[in-house]
Amino acid sequence: MRHRIPTIAAAIACLLAVAPGSALAVGTLDQSQTNTSGYMIYWLKPDSLAQSFTAGRTGKLDTVEINADAVGKAVTVQILAHTGIVLAKKTQTLNDSGWTQIHFTTPPNVTTGVAYAIEVTPSGEVGWRGDCSNSYAGGTARVQEGSTWYSIPGWATTFGAYLPDYCAQDFAFRTYVTPPPAPTKKPTLAPTPTSTPTPTLTSTPTPTSSTTASPAETVLAGTGAPAATGAPAAATPGSQSGSQSGSGSTDSTLPILGAAIGGVALGLVVAGFALLLLRRRQRAN
């Protein structure tokens, strides 16, 4: 039973590592050099090793893999910009042999066509397998001595330790990049309909008899020069008759009233005369 607990814990850890959406999700393979048949030399602290590479994708460099061995000790893995600035850093114990995967909690941004480097600093010694045929054109293997970086053959020549084994041109590595999310398309807002203004009805003032021309005056104004403002237009007999008949004034009513009174008076005279004749006839009889 005591031996099963570590086994169960390891199995759970493996499941978490591959679970969808976990923090250990790996991006898309970008750059790699996987040939390990030509080189293997152990370097001692404080020497640091590095492999430069040129990013082929733009995004987050979330994971790197190196084929290295640190004899059970931890190493510090850093991602460097071409200016030497540290973009990401993690300390991790490498596998006994073969590939070790290093995930960065805060992945650095990389840009297509820009040079970067994977730096490995041992706490004891480290051997990073590689290739002597210069099969990777986007970068090269380096070793740091003091503050200076050398190629592997260049270091051996400079310090008089050249052997055929110091032939590495590239270390074995892989880089994984997660592309940035696609930009969110902004929704197109429908234009707000504008309200049609309600027309304002304006009442037309009723003209008064003192300012409105009669039909006769309107016709006359079209045949001659217009009368001065405020002065009444000259009227002909026909136009005056038409104007009076249409206006309903008191002057047109008086002759009618007089004729009616005259008719009544004449009727009374005739009636009186007839009554007188009737009485004379009665007396004669």
Average pLDDT over residues 145-165: 87
pLDDT of residue 249: 46
pLDDT of residue 125: 93
| d(C-alpha 66, C-alpha 115), whole Å | 18
| d(C-alpha 281, C-alpha 275), whole Å | 10
φ/ψ of 275, rounded to 5, equals -65, -35
Flag whether pLDDT at 123 surpasses 80.
yes
Q: What is the CATH number of domain 27-178?
A: 2.60.120
Per-domain boundaries in the chain: 27-178
Flag whether pLDDT at 279 surpasses 90.
no
Each residue's pLDDT tens digit, 17-30: 444 434 578 999 99
| d(C-alpha 34, C-alpha 80), whole Å | 21
Average pLDDT over residues 177-198: 77
| d(C-alpha 44, C-alpha 52), whole Å | 20
Flag whether pLDDT at 248 surpasses 80.
no
Question: What are the b/e assignments for 157-180, b being 16+ CB within 10 Å?
Answer: eeeeeeeeebbbbbbbbbbbbbee
pLDDT of residue 214: 42
Flag whether pLDDT at 255 surpasses 80.
no
Calculate the average pLDDT of the chain: 76
Each residue's pLDDT tens digit, 142-153: 999 988 999 999
CA nearest to 162, candidates 151, 170, 173: 151
How many residues does the structure list for the chain? 285
